Amino acid sequence: MTDGPLIVQSDKTLLLEVDHPLANEARQAIAPFAELERAPEHVHTYRVTPLALWNARAAGHDAEQVVDALVTYSRFAVPQPLLVDIVDTIARYGRLQLVKNPAHGLVLVSLDRAVLTEVRRHKKIAPMLGAQVDEDTVVVHPSERGHLKQMLLKIGWPAEDLAGYVDGEAHSIELDYEGRFPGSADGGWHLRDYQEMAADSFWAGGSGVVVLPCGAGKTMVGAAAMAKAKATTLILVTNTVAGRQWKRELIARTSLTEDEIGEYSGEKKEIRPVTIATYQVITRKTKGEYKHLELFDSRDWGLVIYDEVHLLPAPVFRMTADLQSRRRLGLTATLVREDGREGDVFSLIGPKRYDAPWKDIEAQGWIAPAECIEVRVTLTDAERMAYATAEPEERYKLCSTARTKNAVVKSILAKHDDSQTLVIGAYIDQLDELGEALDAPVIKGSTKTKEREQLFDAFRAGEIKTLVVSKVANFSIDLPEASVAVQVSGTFGSRQEEAQRLGRLLRPKHDGGQAHFYSVVARDTLDSEYAAHRQRFLAEQGYAYRITDADDLLGPAIG
């Protein structure tokens, strides 16, 4: 028995004592294979799940490393049945392999004959399989490659896909280190070590997901993958503004010219050697059909990049199931999906190939340190009564948009009056009211792309100090000058949204300063419950929320 920070329990939960001197070490050691479930002040609860173990295995961690991490940091003896279960679960990954057979094409090969017999008898899997080649090999129709991986994962036998990829249509793409990138002090730049490692890990695996913090340069990992593939590339992004940022970065940092990069959005329909398309346009239905999904077949793509892969819409999953012979790279700050489809990302895009803890990247100086503060507001008697008598489905909106918050937002902005500030919310009427109160422009879904770009450019240039933004600014918007964000309402308890919103602040600051992330929360309501849920992912990354009362905002904090 040692005085470790971790208590490992037989139900696969891990309790981490946050204030222990080795807590950060332990957190990083268990992060590859354990998911944070609850993050109150003193003890965080993690759970070891099969998918987390298989992701860890695919990223290069073996059972011995997982067991060693638990034994090293556990305060008490680790339950032996749990260790056996972990070893057995990890061993399930890759016992079935998809490979190319010279005579039979795509085949499923088993390293354990009984497993192949089991899956062949499964009523949903049997129709995907063809003739049996020998006792360990069965033919798979190429069109079933993705669907078969989905089903095998669901029944607990995740297949390792070693069947390889088509090269696609060749197209010359090189990284350009000569300093076309604006702002390079010496006229040049280089890939950061972790970006290079991420691109190499992806390329070695052939397809999969790279997890990096917002502001850590995921676009450059994509560019490095494109330079390795040297092939036509389809890039899927969350919105047109994000797509144009990708285009600017690729023109600045690679050999690609403007004419080689097409935009496929609500405004333009260009298909070029590198085509950047929005999720919205390719999932738009016309007469009940997804017409724009044809984009996937419009060229012989050598690489498909999914930006913010945790937001991938269901129709794109369906299409991706048919793209298994193409190299696929998913980029994200968090593999958390609020719809629970992490398994589909694993099966169809690929397993996690690289994951850098946020605090590691912060320690290297590549993202700004951040202070997270939850400001608790007491509603007025009238607001409390309106909340108490509201229908259940109306309660969250009522408490999260309470007007009492407006004065608090003003106080926070006054405290940081020299800083570039984002005020972020989910409800348009609340944002319009705040925009008027703060005399600040509002960016929302109905704001035209051109106007959005003009406002973002003015903010980057320092001409606008404060922007009020809806969830359209949650993702892929590069605003390195922002150093303060004030969150007034969110999408219920979305952990991914919390991560993305903090991510707006993490670009390194010119003065090396700290970022400040405020959540203004109505106490004793659903608002505070959802806030606790949203904070889980950031707690997993080592960010602690300091709690202060709105009345003491400019004074000492509580908690």
Task: Choose the weakest-confidence range: 35-49, 300-314, 374-388.
Answer: 35-49
Q: Which run of H or of E encompasses 394?
A: helix 392-400
Sheet containing 327-332: which strands, arranged edge to edge? 261-264, 274-278, 233-237, 303-307, 327-332, 208-211, 352-355
Mean pLDDT of 226-231: 97
Cα–Cα distance between 534 and 336 in angstroms, integer?
Answer: 11
Task: Choose the weakest-confidence range: 85-89, 104-108, 135-139, 417-421.
Answer: 417-421
Mean pLDDT of 17-23: 91
Q: Do 209 and 63 share a structural domain?
A: no
Q: Do 340 and 198 share a structural domain?
A: yes
- Domain-embedded: residue 348: yes
Ranked by mean pLDDT, the top range of 305-314, 420-429, 471-480, 506-515 is 420-429
| Proportion of the chain above pLDDT 90, given as a percent | 56
- Domain-embedded: residue 175: no
Give the model confidence (pLDDT) of 267-299 as tens digits.
889 999 999 999 888 888 887 777 787 888 888
- Domain-embedded: residue 310: yes
CA distances from 502 to 140, 228, 414, 443 (A): 44, 31, 20, 18
Quick one: 445 exposed, middle or buried, by C-beta within 10 A (0-12, 13-18, 19+)?
exposed
- Domain-embedded: residue 407: yes
What tokens appear for 454 in the block? Answer: 């003009």
- Domain-embedded: residue 169: no
Given a contact cutoff of 8 angstroms between Cβ atoms, the answer to whether 307 and 246 are in contact is: yes
Residue 202's pLDDT band (cuts 50, 70, 90): very high
Which residues constitute the domain of residue 221?
193-362
Domain final position from 64, 91, 118: 91
Cα–Cα distance between 538 and 540 in angstroms, integer?
Answer: 5
User: Which regions of 333-481 does DSSP assign to beta strands (E)?
Assistant: 352-355, 370-377, 420-424, 442-443, 466-469
Cα–Cα distance between 455 and 469 in angstroms, integer?
Answer: 11
Cα–Cα distance between 413 and 125 in angstroms, integer?
Answer: 58
Q: Do 340 and 240 share a structural domain?
A: yes
Q: Is the pLDDT of residue 173 over 70?
A: yes
Q: Do 431 and 526 share a structural domain?
A: yes
Q: Is the pLDDT of residue 236 over 80?
A: yes
Q: Is the pLDDT of residue 500 over 70?
A: yes
- The mean predicted confidence, pLDDT, of the chain is 88
Q: Is the pLDDT of residue 364 over 70?
A: yes
How many structural domains comprise the chain?
A: 4
Q: Please give the pLDDT value at position 456.
A: 87
Mean pLDDT of 99-115: 95
Mean pLDDT of 147-168: 94
Given a contact cutoff of 8 angstroms between Cβ atoms, the answer to whether 289 and 315 are in contact is: no
Mean pLDDT of 339-344: 84
- Domain-embedded: residue 187: no
Mean pLDDT of 340-348: 88
Domain final position from 42, 57, 91: 91
Cα–Cα distance between 202 and 191 in angstroms, integer?
Answer: 15
Q: Is the pLDDT of residue 39 over 80?
A: no
Q: Please give the pLDDT value at position 493.
A: 58
Q: Please give the pLDDT value at position 259.
A: 96
Residue 183's pLDDT band (cuts 50, 70, 90): very low
User: Which regions of 344-424 does DSSP assign to beta strands (E)?
Assistant: 352-355, 370-377, 420-424
CA distances from 544 to 24, 260, 335, 372, 471 (A): 12, 45, 20, 7, 23
Given a contact cutoff of 8 angstroms between Cβ atoms, the answer to whether 424 and 488 are in contact is: yes
* Residue type present at position 350: G
Domain final position from 335, 362, 389: 362
Residue 555's pLDDT band (cuts 50, 70, 90): low
* Residue type present at position 499: A
| Cα three-residue angle 465-468-471, rounded to 5 degrees | 135
Q: Is the pLDDT of residue 41 over 80?
A: no
Quick one: 294 exposed, middle or buried, by C-beta within 10 A (0-12, 13-18, 19+)?
exposed
Q: Do 548 and 512 share a structural domain?
A: yes
| Cα three-residue angle 515-308-449, rounded to 5 degrees | 80
Q: Do 312 and 240 share a structural domain?
A: yes
Q: Do 285 and 197 share a structural domain?
A: yes
Q: Do 267 and 333 share a structural domain?
A: yes
Q: How many CB atoms lie within 10 A of CB 489?
A: 26
Given a contact cutoff of 8 angstroms between Cβ atoms, the answer to whether 212 and 356 are in contact is: yes
- Domain-embedded: residue 132: yes
Q: Is the pLDDT of residue 558 over 60?
A: no
Mean pLDDT of 10-28: 91
Q: Do 119 and 83 share a structural domain?
A: no
- Domain-embedded: residue 421: yes
Helix (H, G, I), strand (E, B) or coil at 550: helix
Q: Do 500 and 388 share a structural domain?
A: yes
Q: Is the pLDDT of residue 531 over 90?
A: no
Ranked by mean pLDDT, the top range of 84-98, 180-194, 365-379, 512-526 is 84-98
Q: Is the pLDDT of residue 64 over 90?
A: yes
Q: Do 205 and 148 share a structural domain?
A: no
Q: Please give the pLDDT value at position 1.
A: 47
DSSP state of 243: H
State how beta strands 6-8 and 13-17 pair: antiparallel
Nearest CA to 514 out of 525, 526, 522, 502 is that of 502
- Range 498-537 burial, b when 16+ CB lie within 10 A, else e: bbbbbbbbbbbbeeeeebbbbbbbbbebbbbebbbbbbbb
Q: Do 208 and 134 share a structural domain?
A: no
**Would residue 94 be called left, alpha or beta, if left means φ above 0 and alpha means ψ between -120 and 50 degrees?**
left
* Residue type present at position 3: D
Q: Is the pLDDT of residue 477 over 70?
A: no
Residue 495's pLDDT band (cuts 50, 70, 90): low
Residue 43's pLDDT band (cuts 50, 70, 90): confident
Sheet containing 137-140: which strands, arranged edge to edge? 129-134, 137-140, 105-110, 96-101, 160-161
CATH number of residue 294's parent domain: 3.40.50.300
Q: Please give the pLDDT value at position 28.
A: 85
